[in-house]
Amino acid sequence: MPAEHLRLPPEPSSVGAARSLLRRALSQWDLDGLEFAASQALTELATNAVIHARTPFEIAILWNGERLRVCVEDHSPRLPARRSYAVDATTGRGLGMVERLCRSWGVETFEDGKRVWFEVAPGDLSEDDAEILPMFSDDLDAFDDVAGHRASPLLRAQNLVGAA
């Protein structure tokens, strides 16, 4: 079973590094059609690891011939949770996006942390999703960190606010 792994520090540039690893793996495995959904979902999970877990984390990308499983493991006991925010809030929609883009997702807990995972497979996106969702990829691609990796807009915006 093809697999890729990467251990990353809890730094904003790690989100872009995780996305780069995913894109390389999908290209090598001839799975470019999964790139949009998997990249968006991984961005959310890696961003959560950086912002909320604040521990080193590991990315695992696995292809079993039918579906792609992506895992983000960190050393924080804090579990991801969907929350309700005002319509104009700039946060709180990420797990809903993961739920919409992915076939399934979940959390496995350990004594010293957790693993948050999602799965996508060819043909998972509906025709409506396939037409609407790519509009948002330009927004993500517009944000580059100093290392040349793409970072999520939320993470980038928090860095800019924190620097002010």
Contact call for residues 42 and 8 (beta carbons, < 8 A): no
Contact 113, 56 (CB under 8 A): no
The token pair at 156 is: 């980038």
Residue 97 has pLDDT above 70, yes or no: yes
Question: Phi and psi at residue 124, in whole multiples of 5°?
Answer: -70, -35
Average pLDDT estimate for 153-161: 39
Identify the band that residue 95 occupies on the pLDDT scale cut at 50, 70 and 90.
confident
Instruction: Give me the helices (H) in 4-64, please.
Output: 13-28, 35-48
Under the banding of pLDDT at 50, 70 and 90, the label for residue 4 is: very high
